[in-house]
Amino acid sequence: MNKVIIDSKNRSLGINLRELFKFRDLFMVLAYRDYRIRYAQTYLGFLWAIIQPLATLLVLVLVFNKAAGIKTGTVPYPLFAACGMAVWTYFSYVLSQAGGSIIASQSMIQKIYFPRLIIPFSKALVGVIDFLISFALIIILMLVYRYSLSWTIVYLPLYFLAIILTALSIGVLFSAITVRYRDFQHIIPFIVQFGLYITPVAYPADLVVKRIPTWASMIYYLNPMAGVTEGFRFSLLGTDPPSLLSYISFAVVIVLFISSLLYFNRTEKIMADLV
């Protein structure tokens, strides 16, 4: 049995990747547990993962396309919205689950030692299941509308990685902050609800950017999901490439990911005492 000593006075900000890899089995177990619990004791079970994106897509089509009259050029609106919805559904799930994951696992944290970062990271794996279902819906819509894949599909892994990093960045950060300040548990639902409207999920980003000054556009792209959503849609549908301003979003993603890991690592040393 290995002895692990946690020194709260140790201010090292390094991330022990070897230790994370050592506990990979626990990571898979936690992810599988969350998946089983999510659909436990439900009549429809896994079908909820199909019903929810279909219902959301129907609402987006009725409200933004039919009622508001938003046009998406040569891309059929249901296909356009399905791409944005797939990205936002994954992000919102990981943020919601990871944000309060440390508090929810306090009994385990107080009893045994393991890298606490595994807890919010496992939520990202569970969210991939719903993302794949939404992705399958996109493929079906492409077949229905006879919309061909573009050569830009080669960028898809890059933008999918950006989606994961964005969701984990904010999720990990909030999971550490809520340990000290429980009020942040109530901020997460607000971010999910408000963020949907300031992210180009149901409308093209140009619809906003072309109507506001450049400085306001720069503020708009401080939302990391704005550029990521545009990039994902570009890689899958071959739409116009992301604007230069959208790279502000990618810079924010990198800064958020690094800073969230550093803050989490610093807080991890005293988590057992705070929860």
Identify the band that residue 11 occupies on the pLDDT scale cut at 50, 70 and 90: very low
Q: pTM for the full model?
A: 0.86
Q: Give per-residue pLDDT as tens, 60-85.
A: 899 998 888 888 888 999 999 999 99
CA distance 103 to 225: 26
- Asked if 233 contacts 80 with a C-beta cutoff of 8 angstroms, the reply is yes
Cα gap 82→59, rounded to integer Å: 11
DSSP characters over 185-229: HHHHHHHHHHHHHHSTTSS-THHHHTTS-HHHHHHHTTSHHHHHH
Q: How many CB atoms lie within 10 A of CB 263?
A: 15
Other Cβ atoms less than 10 A from the Cβ of 239: the count is 19
The encoded tokens of residue 61 equal 């089509």
> Cβ atoms within 10 A of the Cβ of 23, count?
16
pLDDT tens per residue, range 154-196: 999 999 999 999 999 988 888 888 888 777 778 888 888 888 8
Q: Is the pLDDT of residue 14 over 70?
A: no
Answer whether 208's CB lies under 8 Å from 221's CB.
Answer: no
